[in-house]
Structures are given as C-alpha cells and as structure tokens.
Chain A
Amino acid sequence: MATSNASMTGSSNLVKKDKRASLADAVRLIEDGSTVGIGGSLIRRHPMAVIYEMIRQNKRDLTLLGWNNAVDMDLLIGAGCVKAVKTAYVGMAMLGLGHNFRRAVESGEVKVFEHSESTAIDAFRAGSMGWSFVPTKTPLGSGLADHNEEIKFMDCPYTGDPYCVLPAFAPDVAIIHAHTADACGNVQLDSKRELDNEVDTLIAKSANKVIVSVEQVVSEDAIYQNPELTILPKFFVDCVVEIPLGAHPTACDCRYDYDLEFLSKYQEYAKSPETFKEFLKRYVFDVDDHYQYLDLIGLQHLFSIQRPKEIS
C-alpha cells in the first residue's frame, strides 16, 4: 500500500539515481566490436529507434544475438555494422527474405551461427542464470550441430543420453523496447500484450549492460500501483530512453501494429545495395533523431497503425 511504502522508504528528499538518457548518449554505451542482444521477435517490438541511432553512430563489427529477427538485423547488416549473427531466423515474415541479410551471408560478409528458436532462447536463459552452457536435444542430427561450431556434444552424466550443448549468450549490451519505465529503470509492459516478453527479460538478464527504450516514462508511483506488470526491476537496467513509437516499423503490442506499408517500402529499397543507401540517407542519416524520422513518416500514417481500442 502506498502509505506503508512511504513510511518504509523514508523521507522524500533522498534522491534516487536517475537512469534517463538521451537516445544518442544511451547508444554511446555500445562499443564497436561488441555483442548486442536484441529484444523483440520477428516484426514485433524491436528497439528500432536505438537501432537507427546505432547506424547513425556508425557502429562497426558487431555480433548480434537474437532468437527471431527481421528488419532489426537486416537494417544493421545493410548499414555495414555487423560481422556475425546468432539467431534462429532473419527474414521479413510475410514480406519474404531479408535482402541485406541474404546478400551479406551469400558474399561471406556476415557469419551466421545457426540456431533454432529454443537453442537461441536457452542460450539467453543460460546467460541469465549465470551458467556457461546449457544442454539441449534440439540440434541433434541437424545442420545446426554440423555448422554451428559453438554447438558441441555431451552425454548426460546420469543416463548416458546424448545431448548437444551450447555456450550461454552473455551480450555486452542488451537493447530492449518496452511500454513504460520510471526514471529509476523499473520497466513495465501493458497487461494486454503479446507474451513473448519473457524472452526480452532473459535477454536483458543475460547482458552486461541494458538499454531500455520505452514508449513513455512514468512516475515511480505508477510502477508501485501495478507491480505485476514489471518485467525488469531497476537493478537490471543501465539506462532508460523515452521514445514514443520507438519500435516503428515493428509492432508494439496493443499500442500500435506493424507498419506493413513502410515495411513493404523498405523491402523495395533493400532490393539492391544502391537503393538501400537511399533508404539509409532518407530515413537514418538525413534525420537528426527519432522525432524527425516520425515527422517523415507523417502523423496521419502513424495514426493509421494505432491499435483499435477494443483489443486493449
């Protein structure tokens, strides 16, 4: 209850650490050559504003970790930021192949460490638990075991049953997009949401540093009022960046849908490296920040992807 909480935490003149940061400052935490765990799945709730800023800041030689990726990884690969990916999928869902991903893998520019969804998620789970590896049945007999040199074989020490083992994912930085957080870094998701957020939590918990972008920064009181919505308490989080529509063009649960029109346009631009450069110039380099990017998309169009109220 609010009153007893006030008495326990003491007087209001004690100042708590404020983890709010500008987008540019937050992204400066990501160093060239680091491993980055990306939250979200397929074309849903990726931290896209953070990703655009990573491109603006010309990050290089990154290893990207995820479990089901789309425009997030395809963009960073097309912008030349990436040397390797470890994930189960990089594609554009109903819009077909990830053109930048495809080109970069075919030319040998980007190395893929093959995963299935469960191996990628279990690697994050191992990282979140502080384990160095995790056993799995999934890759047995498949190309995963043959072609991902990190996957090895081990018999169960108790039953002798064959397993594959994989090393934990422990990214230098995790980037996650959520609905709300307070200035201290307590992160929440709306109660009505697609429920793959469990994996976002594992990705954050497995990382050394955690950057969370949110649709809205809220008061600490708002967190206290709905504690069941908290996915990450503040001690996991290094900085909070407030960016409305920060997942665009991917979906953000009940708040807005994926922007199919924009994603289709993206696919057209991505068809060749030359036209993709035009995309980067127009939507990334020629805009100063995410608000200018949103201006370019246009208010009318952004309203058209808002989720209907009756679902939320």
Chain B
Amino acid sequence: MATVEFTREELMAVAAAAEIRDSEVAIIGTGLPMIASYLAKRTHAPSASLFFESGIIDAFPRDLATGVGDFRLMSNCVKASGLYYALSLLQGGRVDLGFLGAAEVDQYGNINSTVIGNYIKPQVRLPGSGGANDIASLAKRVVIIVPHQLRKFPERVQYITTPGHLDGVGARERAGLRGAGPVRVVTNLAVMGFDDETKRMKLRSLHPGVSLDQVRENTGFELLVTEPIEETPAPTPEQLKLLREEIDPDGIYISKK
C-alpha cells in the first residue's frame, strides 16, 4: 500500500476521472467534474472532447473557470458556441457522459433539485432543473457526484427533476428515454453503481478508512452490497502531481490537505 497522502476530494476526482473513456464526448460543469475531466484528458483519455453546458468545447483556460458561462473559458478552446448548441448535442445523442450534482438522490438514482418537501406546498422552493434534466434524460451515461449525507439520500425523491432509473429495471425504456441513465455515484465516502437486475444503488467500493456502517448510517435506504467489499483505488503519485501542480494549483476546487 502506497504511503502517499491524499485528500478525499483528490480521491473523488480520480474516481470520477476513471469514468471518462478515451475519445468520448463528456458534458461537464465546473467544480469537481471539471477537475476530474481535465485529469482524465491529461492521463488516460487524451482524445476525449470535454464541453461545458455553455457550449464551449475543449477549453484550456489560463485560469480555472468559476462557472460554465465564465468568459475565461472562451479565451482558449476549439469551439465557442452557446447552450443551444450544447443542448442540441445532447438531443442528438452525441453525448457519452454527463456529470451531475444533486440536492437529493434516491436508490434509483433519480435526482431532485426543485423542491424540499411536497411539490404543491413546498417547504423550500429551489431554483429548478436548469440543464440537469436535459443531461440526465439525454446523455448516454451519467455520473452523480454528491456529498454522502442522510438527508441527501432518501429512499424516494419527492420530485424527479432529473430521471435516473425511475422505479427500476426497464423503466427508462418504457418512458421512452434514451441512454443508460446514472451508472456511478461518487461521494466523499464511497463509489456506488446500480444493480443490473433491479437498478437499485449498489456499493462498489469504500474509500480508504471508511466503514460500511458509516456509509449505511448516511444512506436513507438499503444499499445493495456484495462481499468482499473493495477499496476505492488511491490516486497515483502522477495523478496527484497533475492535480496539485497543474490542474488546480491554487486548490480552488480540491483542497490539498
């Protein structure tokens, strides 16, 4: 076991990066997905096309952007278009992978970012879908990145802003949705996938130092588990060097300690 020290965020960035295959088209937001995508492009996926929802493709900004519409992204990219163009790529089935955050995600990977509480009489009204529904409905695969907290992992979301596997196997196909839906959930505690038979969320690996009980305590539904439980692979020294010295040297999105 390597003795290189790393943070949970660095581990999450590496786990998310592993989901991007070479030559794929990925729609990315800012934050951890952006860091993960640039890491993938600098390591195993040099031919991936990364595009921001704002329609900017393969940007290598001089400074890290703080939002998908950040003007800094336009200074150095292969195509500058608009969100309308980005959405047309999704609608046309050109997008292999999308990353999403979530206010709440349930056992089928359905996401709610519209209301807390009842839809008709909400306790808190949130801003709404934005482009999240578009990505979840139309990308071929979706990776969800979310902090692992009990309140964020209910058994069933009250409102489906962005469809995951709806109510189980075959549901997306019956609804007429293209694409496989969510394939991974990366949290600060673990990496999860979805069971082929039921489409329920299933543990894939625990981050080093995290116990199964810890994950269960922070999950509001029965998480499927198959023994033996694997450990999330630690970042390699090369990956850490890239993250710390080249991709996010100021620690804007991933803290180094």
Binding site for B on A (CB under 8 A): 41-42, 44, 68, 87-91, 93-94, 97-98, 101-102, 105-106, 108, 112, 114-118, 121, 136-144, 146-147, 161-163, 192, 194-199, 202, 253-254, 257, 307, 311
List B159-180 residues whose CB lies under 8 Å from chain A. Answer: 159-163, 166, 171-172, 175-178
List B65-114 residues whose CB lies under 8 Å from chain A. Answer: 66-67, 69, 71, 74-75, 80-85, 87, 90-91, 112, 114
Give 14 A-B pairs besides A116-B131, A117-B131, A194-B71 with Cβ atoms closer than 8 angstroms.
A88-B128, A88-B133, A91-B128, A116-B134, A118-B90, A121-B84, A137-B176, A161-B176, A162-B176, A194-B69, A195-B55, A196-B69, A198-B84, A311-B71
List B24-76 residues whose CB lies under 8 Å from chain A. Answer: 54-55, 66-67, 69, 71, 74-75
A101 / chain B contacts, CB cutoff of 8 Å: 125, 127
CA gap between A198 and B82 in the complex, in Å: 7
B252 contacts partner chain A, Cβ-Cβ < 8 Å = no
* B175 engages A196 (CB within 8 Å): no
A93 / chain B contacts, CB cutoff of 8 Å: 67
CA gap between A253 and B129 in the complex, in Å: 24
Chain B 140-153 near chain A by CB (<8 Å), digits 1 or 0: 00000000000000
Contact flag A89-B82 (CB < 8 Å), given A138-B134, A141-B177, A143-B159 = no
Q: How far is the CB of B72 from chain A (nearest CB, A)?
A: 8
Q: How far is the CB of A82 from chain B (nearest CB, A)?
A: 14
CA gap between A93 and B17 in the complex, in Å: 25
CA gap between A215 and B172 in the complex, in Å: 47
CA gap between A108 and B71 in the complex, in Å: 37
Q: How far is the CB of B245 from chain A (nearest CB, A)?
A: 26
Contact flag A196-B133 (CB < 8 Å), given A143-B159, A147-B119 = no
Q: Which residue of A lies closest to B73 (CB)?
A: A194
A162 / chain B contacts, CB cutoff of 8 Å: 175-176
Q: How far is the CB of A130 from chain B (nearest CB, A)?
A: 19
B83 / chain A contacts, CB cutoff of 8 Å: 41, 68, 117, 121, 196, 199
* A88 engages B130 (CB within 8 Å): yes
A202 / chain B contacts, CB cutoff of 8 Å: 84
* A115 engages B129 (CB within 8 Å): yes
8 A-B contacts, Cβ less than 8 Å apart? A87-B128, A88-B128, A88-B129, A102-B124, A139-B137, A140-B137, A146-B160, A147-B119
* B137 engages A137 (CB within 8 Å): yes
B210 contacts partner chain A, Cβ-Cβ < 8 Å = no
* A195 engages B82 (CB within 8 Å): yes
A116 / chain B contacts, CB cutoff of 8 Å: 129-134, 137
B66 / chain A contacts, CB cutoff of 8 Å: 94
B208 contacts partner chain A, Cβ-Cβ < 8 Å = no
* A114 engages B171 (CB within 8 Å): no
CA gap between A136 and B92 in the complex, in Å: 11
Contact flag A142-B162 (CB < 8 Å), given A68-B130, A194-B54 = yes
The residue that B127 contacts in the complex, of A44, A97, A198, with Cβ under 8 A, is A97
A98 / chain B contacts, CB cutoff of 8 Å: 127
Q: Which residue of B lies closest to A110 (CB)?
A: B125
B126 contacts partner chain A, Cβ-Cβ < 8 Å = yes
B74 / chain A contacts, CB cutoff of 8 Å: 192, 194
Contact flag A106-B82 (CB < 8 Å), given A116-B131, A117-B134 = no
* A143 engages B119 (CB within 8 Å): yes
A41 / chain B contacts, CB cutoff of 8 Å: 69, 83
CA gap between A146 and B161 in the complex, in Å: 10
CA gap between A162 and B173 in the complex, in Å: 10
* B175 engages A141 (CB within 8 Å): yes
* A144 engages B133 (CB within 8 Å): yes
List B213-236 residues whose CB lies under 8 Å from chain A. Answer: none
* A105 engages B176 (CB within 8 Å): no
* B124 engages A118 (CB within 8 Å): no
A142 / chain B contacts, CB cutoff of 8 Å: 133, 137, 160-163
Q: How far is the CB of A37 from chain B (nearest CB, A)?
A: 15
Which of B87, B112, B121, B138 has most chain A Cβ within 10 Å?
B87
Which of A97, A118, A142 has most chain B Cβ within 10 Å?
A142
A196 / chain B contacts, CB cutoff of 8 Å: 54-55, 69, 82-84
Q: Which residue of B lies closest to A156 (CB)?
A: B176
CA gap between A41 and B161 in the complex, in Å: 20
Q: How far is the CB of A91 from chain B (nearest CB, A)?
A: 3
A87 / chain B contacts, CB cutoff of 8 Å: 128
Which of B80, B171, B176, B178 has most chain A Cβ within 10 Å?
B176
Q: How far is the CB of B59 from chain A (nearest CB, A)?
A: 13
B75 / chain A contacts, CB cutoff of 8 Å: 311
